[in-house]
Structure 1
Amino acid sequence: MGRPESGGGFVVPTVDISAYVGQGTAAARQAVAHAVDEACAAVGFIQIVGHGIPASVIDGLTCAVDDFFGLDPEDKQRYRVCGANRGYTAPKTESLSLSAGVESAARMNDFFEAFNIGVEARSFTGLDLDEADYGINLWPDIEGYRSRIEAYFDAAQRVAGTLTDIFADALGVEPDFFERLTDHSIDVLRMNNYALPPGTDVTLDGELTGMGEHTDFGIVTVLWADQVRGLQVLARDGSWNDVTPAAGALLVNLGDLTARLTNDRWMSTLHRVRPPVVNGTIERRRSVAFFHDGNADAVISTLPSHLEYDNGLAYEPITVTDHIAAKLAGSRGGKLNAAAVREASRVLHAAEK
């Protein structure tokens, strides 16, 4: 659960979603939808159990992650990102805080490395989709790697679909509301490794950043993570709070597009990763985020039922592809995302506390 960094009673709620995974009663599903609604409004992060992903699939995922990040640096560079959001990114080549509209003194200094795979344009026969949005995957030449990653990808994709079913019930929209936004969703699996190469000297009280403060881009994120400290979530009171997943649980957080739909009643919560320092040294930490971002051509507008929130100021409609492009231009292109006004104001408010 969540543990406050600076006092208070910050908690990431735990919700058992098994009523939506199996044949739950209408009353049981209503209770889940109500719990999710409360968690999304209060925190924007949830721990979910009863998600139905077998331990063997998660074990296969973590072994595959270890296999790739255990390669020599030169071998990993063979799979570096080129163009679309697929492949390898090396340490200190991104700055997530720029995607949230915040200029960081430690520009392009996030020390994590990552590897991305996702849905491809050719996966959707009959649709003329742009490979700039739905890139071609680069598969490492590691025995069994692709099958293990795809098994988890399929499971996480199912969980994301279950969550949007719950969201539809919680928000009182049509049952197929999110399906219409996600039937050719830009889904990406990002595997993160927080570790420094052996023999690297580092000052632990300097500007080193695991991953800068940011919000996720799309509709919902499903996160598997080690039980190693590092992830911090920004509470509504402006405090940063440590969050460690419970055994067997997945962390879920909302993305910007869901915040736009609900006019920030449901928050796309800012989060960051601090260097996982244990006994004076940086301990390796792994996480795997499944981003369910929505159809590239979908237009996201504030729901009429939520126009009264945030003093009646609704978000301007935006396509999924335009929103993601602006965010990636910040994190990878080093360009400050001037459109992220609300996110930046929350970061600055936290810095003042």
Structure 2
Amino acid sequence: MKSIPHIDMSQYEADFEIFAQNVGEGYERNGFVALTNHGINIDIIHGALDISRELFALPAETKQQYHQPGQGGARGYTPFGTEIAKDAKHVDLKEFWHIGREIEGEPPFSQLLPNVWPQEVPEFKTRMLALYKALDMLGNQVLDALAVYLGQSREFFRSRVDMGNSILRPLHYPPIVDEGTPSVRAGAHEDINVLTLLVGSREPGLEVLARDGSWIPVTIIEGAIICNVGDMLQRLTNNVLPSTTHRVVNPPAPYSSKSRYSIPFFLHFNPDVLIDPLASCVTSDNPCRYEPITADDYLMQRLREIGLLK
């Protein structure tokens, strides 16, 4: 793998069967693809990135007021040096903010907590919710294709993610002050969730682990959105769709002296969904690898592993 496959999202409407085949094959080979012609207005993306810079430029004590201790970083601000990749020895060099699904009235699941919004940056809410909605819709289109590729009905995933505890995470990797630090911006890891959609950051740093053990650099192609399989989908598909290891390394000068900003959207199953390998993904050559577990139980287990829950 020298680069990740590009998926033309305009095929979703033009020729869904070919689209589903391209999406499925791209993920089965790599676990990572780049979505082009996705239809999300560039102003929504740039508006969210610009307001993120404004947010993270606030004084540390101001941001700290929006930290929610004991919630595992579920909403609001998570300070620099909190998260650590599973089995890593050093914390990641990043700070971030979590935005969840906005629910009118009583939420159907207790996990759908109210969002925390910074009073100092009033436009943050409007811009982030616009991006959340757009990425949620785009992720559902990708899942429509994967459902068909996996031998399910086109709508298979729709009712399983419509009330998922999906998270939008504006991220800030500050400039590298100590060039000799053993920490990296984000240690090698796999994502916990179903799909991750990533916007922003054209600076070098993101790398994907190829099957031959080499690391493949991935820069955000102008206008494209990077989208990768998470562990929940890998588990549901009995490893047919791989959740690929990736990392954000500390870049060389002059990039190391600059901040890096990106916004991943972590698409999740509804908390009560049972993640049990699909029969279509279990064969004599690929026997069932996993016991059933609910999406929420699996999430809690993994959040403890990365230090967000104690």
TM above 0.5: yes
The reply to whether residue 56 of structure 1 matches residue 64 of structure 2 is no
Local SS of the residue matching 2:165: strand
Aligned position for 2:53: 66
Deviation at 1:334, TM superposition (A): 7.5
TM-aligned CA distance change 1:245 to 1:310, over 3 Å: farther
Deviation at 1:333, TM superposition (A): 4.3
Aligned position for 1:78: 65
Determine the C-alpha separation between the residues in 2 that align with 1:176 and 1:315.
24
Aligned position for 2:295: 320
User: Which segments of 5 or more consecutive residues in structure 1 lack a partner in the other structure?
Assistant: 1-8, 336-353
Deviation at 1:124, TM superposition (A): 6.5
Given that residues 213 and 270 in structure 1 are in contact (C-alpha distance below 8 angstroms), is that contact kept between their aligned partners in structure 2? yes
Aligned position for 2:96: 114
Aligned position for 2:118: 140
TM-aligned CA distance change 1:65 to 1:333, over 3 Å: closer
Given that residues 43 and 267 in structure 1 are in contact (C-alpha distance below 8 angstroms), is that contact kept between their aligned partners in structure 2? yes
Aligned position for 1:17: 9
Letter in 1 for 2:116: L
Deviation at 1:319, TM superposition (A): 0.5
Alignment of 1:124-135 (within 5 A): 125=106, 127=108, 129-130=109-110, 133-135=111-113
Deviation at 1:232, TM superposition (A): 1.0
Residue correspondences, number: 307
Deviation at 1:329, TM superposition (A): 0.7
Per the normalisation by structure 1, the TM-score is: 0.82
Deviation at 1:167, TM superposition (A): 1.1
1:90-136, Cα deviation, whole Å (9 max, x unpaired)? 1111102x2xxx2x232xx211110111015x547473x21xx2222
Aligned position for 1:330: 305
1:151-183, Cα deviation, whole Å (9 max, x unpaired)? 111111111111111111221201221013112
The reply to whether residue 268 of structure 1 matches residue 243 of structure 2 is yes
Alignment of 1:241-260 (within 5 A): 241-260=216-235
TM-aligned CA distance change 1:170 to 1:124, over 3 Å: farther
CA RMSD of aligned residues (A): 1.9
TM-aligned CA distance change 1:291 to 1:280, over 3 Å: closer
Letter in 2 for 1:314: R
The reply to whether residue 296 of structure 1 matches residue 285 of structure 2 is no
Same amino acid, percent of matched pairs = 32
Per the normalisation by structure 2, the TM-score is: 0.93
User: Which segments of 5 or more consecutive residues in structure 2 lack a partner in the other structure?
Assistant: none
- 1:89 aligned to which of 54, 63, 78: 78
